[in-house]
């Protein structure tokens, strides 16, 4: 399969990960993306260490400072994701945003690549 994108929710930070067989322990797969977005109204905490089975590369992450867990929504670390497909080109644009709708990270994914 190609053009696989994972959308991960029910987490307490936001991130974009690119997985590639050249960095992976298991190498029989096509590269893929994972977008992490959350919470919309919950305590926040940072990510755990990534498993290297599929060779993840952190392209973006926004989380509370290390050692600060379960911060209140009032601390402003609430996130959501937005995805849109251009009807002509088929390009998928994924953006990770904060509650003010500020785009923190964005990437265009070409359906051919």
The pLDDT-based confidence of 83 (bands split at 50, 70, 90) is very high
Token match 């009807």: residue?
A: 87
Question: What does the alpha-carbon distance between residue 94 and residue 84 come to, in Å, rounded to a whole number?
Answer: 7
pTM recorded for the entire structure: 0.92
Q: How does pLDDT run across 36-51, given as a tens digit for each residue?
A: 998 788 999 889 899 9
Kind of pairing between the strands at 32-36 and 5-8? parallel
Q: Yes or no: say if 54 and 8 are a contact pair by the CB < 8 Å rule.
A: no
With left for phi above 0 and alpha for psi between -120 and 50, is residue 3 left, alpha or beta? left
Strands (DSSP E) found in 25-91: 32-36, 56-62, 79-85
Instruction: Look up residue 61 and give its two tokens.
Output: 């992450």
CB atoms within 10 A of CB 49: 5
């Amino acid at each position: 399969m190609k053009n696989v994108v994972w959308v991960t929710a029910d987490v307490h930070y936001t991130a974009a990960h690119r997985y590639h067989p050249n960095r992976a322990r298991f190498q029989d797969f096509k590269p893929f993306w994972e977008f992490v977005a959350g919470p919309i109204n919950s305590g926040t905490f940072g990510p755990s260490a990534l498993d290297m089975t599929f060779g993840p590369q952190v392209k973006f992450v926004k989380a509370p400072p290390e050692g600060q867990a379960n911060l209140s929504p009032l601390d402003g670390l609430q996130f959501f994701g937005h995805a849109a497909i251009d009807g002509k080109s088929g390009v998928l644009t994924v953006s990770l945003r904060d509650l003010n709708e500020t785009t923190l990270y964005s990437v265009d994914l070409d359906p051919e690549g």
